[in-house]
Amino acid sequence: MVKVQHEDFDAGAEIASMRLSRPDIGAVAVFLGQVRDINDGSSVVKLTLEHYPGMTEKALEDIVAQAVKRWHIFDALVIHRVGTLQPMDQVVMVAVVGAHRAAAFDACEFIMDYLKTQAPFWKKELTGSGERWVEARESDNLAKARWDQ
Amino acid sequence: MHLPASAVRSLMLTLMLKLLYFARLREALGVSNEHLVLPANVSDVAGLMAHLAGRGGAWQSQFDGSTLIRAAVNQVLVASSATIQADDEIAFFPPVTGG
């Protein structure tokens, strides 16, 4: 399941909902991303996330479908917030449920690596010296590329 | 041949592209979306980008190849060689930075 939303979310409740969806789940792998108060040496006061309504949801659903096809997992949840956020706010959550941990860990990392390079979101930071768009990182492209080998 | 106004309107619509611009690109151009009649000599994303660069100014600096721009056709990421046709929704944006 994929959710793109302005509102905050209750990570504990989301994990419980995934965990209790079926009794043969033995592993729940979770990534939770939050806004940092520093980036590239500047203090970050606010972070604004823009997205492409329609395509963003489709891209995330496609990434989840690829993960479910590639690993022995039961399901995956992606929640990504948009709009204006502050340091320590939750930005993104990925939760993967499966029988065993290895597939759940791998699928969770795969989903994050693809999300960061394929899903249409853009971050703009407000720092002490003004606004700036966040630059895409080559390290994210490399992280995604390792799954293509 | 005389066509009723409604038929002319729907004919025009079928020749239109919907263009969307996001993030840094949207700000540089000062436009978030527009409708454009498919130019007769444009058949792929690269051709459309060259057409837009021809508008000059910020359009030229954003679409002349000196700035890294990604494209999506009908909400799917594509290479610049992807073909386009009337009625497509085409989006241009900088490399993504979510997560």
A4-57 pLDDT, tens digit per residue, is 999 999 999 999 999 999 999 999 999 999 999 999 889 999 999 999 999 999
Residue of A nearest to B74 (CA): A55
Residue A92 lies in a domain: yes
Total number of domains in chain A: 1
Residue A148 lies in a domain: no
Two structure tokens written together for A61: 């659903």
Residue A37 lies in a domain: yes
Residue A109 lies in a domain: yes
Domain membership of residue A61 as a residue range: 2-129
**Does B23 contact A133 at a Cβ distance shorter than 8 Å?**
yes
- Give the position of tokens 């021809």: B54
Q: How far is Cα B85 from Cα B21, in angstroms, rounded to an integer? A: 18
User: What is the separation of C-alpha A100 from the centre of its chain, rounded to a whole number of angstroms?
Assistant: 21
What does the pLDDT look like over A48-102, one tens digit per residue?
A: 999 999 999 999 999 999 999 999 999 999 999 999 999 999 999 999 999 999 9
Among A134, A118, A111, smallest CA distance to A56 is for A118
Q: How far is Cα B78 from Cα B90, in angstroms, rounded to an integer? A: 10
CATH of the domain at A117: 3.90.1170.40
Which CATH number does B5-93 carry?
3.10.20.30
The pLDDT value recorded for residue B91 is: 98
Residue A86 three-state SS: coil
What does the pLDDT look like over A115-138, one tens digit per residue?
A: 999 999 999 999 999 999 999 999
Residue A138 lies in a domain: no
Contact assessment for residue A92 and residue A114, using Cβ atoms and an 8 Å cutoff: no
The answer to whether residue A26 neighbours chain B at the CB level (below 8 Å) is: no
**Does A116 contact B96 at a Cβ distance shorter than 8 Å?**
yes
Q: How far is Cα B8 from Cα B11, in angstroms, rounded to an integer? A: 5
Two structure tokens written together for A132: 């700036």
Residue B87 three-state SS: coil
How much is the ipTM here?
0.93
Residue A140 lies in a domain: no
Q: What is the pLDDT along chain B (99 residues), one digit of tens a residue?
A: 577 887 766 666 568 999 999 999 999 999 999 999 999 899 999 999 999 999 999 999 999 999 999 999 999 999 999 999 999 999 999 999 999
